[in-house]
Amino acid sequence: MNAPTGSTTTAAAVESEEPLSSGFDAATKDDVEFAEHFRHCFTTIDDVQMHYVIGGDGPQVMVLLHGWPHSWYVYREIMPSLLPGRTVIAIDLPGMGDSTGNPPSMARTVLATYVHRLLNHLGYRENVQVVAHDFGAGVAYPLAAQYRRQVAGLFLMDYTVVGKNAKAADLTSLSFHFSFNQQNPLAEELVTDRVETFLTRCFQSMKSGVGEPVSDSELTEYVRVFSRSQVLHAGFELYRVWDQDETENAELQATPLTIPVRLLTQSGLVSFMLPSLKDCAPEATGSDVPGAGHFLVHEAPDRVLAEINAFYPTR
């Protein structure tokens, strides 16, 4: 999935701080294609040094937000194909990946404000195209709802937005890790020094039966970042603030989004997830990917790319 020949895809010129995370380029230091099109950057927002990968110089700005248990790297294979006509920014959420420092809360409204301020710092204050998966979609919604001029649309993958109708309590039984990750501090105590075993079990529990949900190189990268104690804790905290998300989203849903919103889900779940998006944006549309599991970018990259480009056509 290389960038088309002849496209302008030079990594954007952005000032970057010295990284506080020493292993940030472990997965990309020998990646020639990555070096040609993208660069790692770091910017401190309040007390969190935000890590993001940026490439391209097109007029349309696209932001990629990851979920759990991922980092920006979940988008690595499709990012070059997104470049023509765009500037593409894949962000490690506050507390996650190679971002360093602990936000005051992992509530999605808080994380959205960090993303908003980072985009402001980079000069992208309006018409940003947002693509998000899993908890990244949970951040994308309050980003759009709180900072309406900044976001041009939401392309969301496999996530239920809790709020006035979708309830956090109804989701806990869907997978073993939903309840396990909420155990504080037991989850950290049991998983520390066993990150690879734990993540392998999580990925396998959500596989579709068609191919593997993660490659060996991806697993190595996710084990690296979740072996950072702050990241392991922050990832679990995502699950511990669902009740707060439910309350805050219900308030935001009182003013529906009018921007385009599209949901893509794993096989058979669009009818379960789409109503929660319609609570946010009544005109939201959705479809599923037959045969695919939760990890859509890995399992169905061609379909994901086609859907993104149809939803956000380049000029």
In a domain, 83, yes or no: yes
In a domain, 5, yes or no: no
Count Cβ atoms below 10 Å from residue 15 Cβ, excluding itself.
Answer: 9
In a domain, 101, yes or no: yes
Is pLDDT above 90 for 308?
Answer: yes
Identify the pLDDT of residue 314.
Answer: 87
**pTM score, whole prediction:** 0.96
Is pLDDT above 60 for 229?
Answer: yes
In a domain, 80, yes or no: yes
Identify the pLDDT of residue 173.
Answer: 86
User: Which of the four pLDDT bands, split at 50, 70 and 90, describes residue 174?
Assistant: confident
Higher pLDDT, 14 or 179: 179
CB 102 within 8 Å of CB 35: no
Percent of the chain with pLDDT over 90: 89
In a domain, 220, yes or no: no
User: Which of the four pLDDT bands, split at 50, 70 and 90, describes residue 313?
Assistant: very high
CATH number, position 268: 3.40.50.1820
Q: What value does the mean pLDDT take over residues 161-179?
A: 93
Q: What value does the mean pLDDT take over residues 52-60?
A: 97
Cα–Cα distance, 289 to 303 (Å, whole number):
8
H-helix or E-strand spanning residue 146: helix 135-146
Is pLDDT above 50 for 8?
Answer: no
In a domain, 249, yes or no: yes
Identify the pLDDT of residue 176.
Answer: 92
Percent of the chain with pLDDT over 70: 95
In a domain, 212, yes or no: no
Residue type, 305: L
Domain count, the chain: 1
- Residue 115's domain comprises 32-167+244-311
In a domain, 153, yes or no: yes
Strand pairing category for 285-289 and 261-266: parallel
By CB neighbour count within 10 A (0-12 exposed, 13-18 middle, 19+ buried), where does 108 fall?
A: buried
Distances (CA, A) of 42 to 140, 236, 314: 20, 24, 28
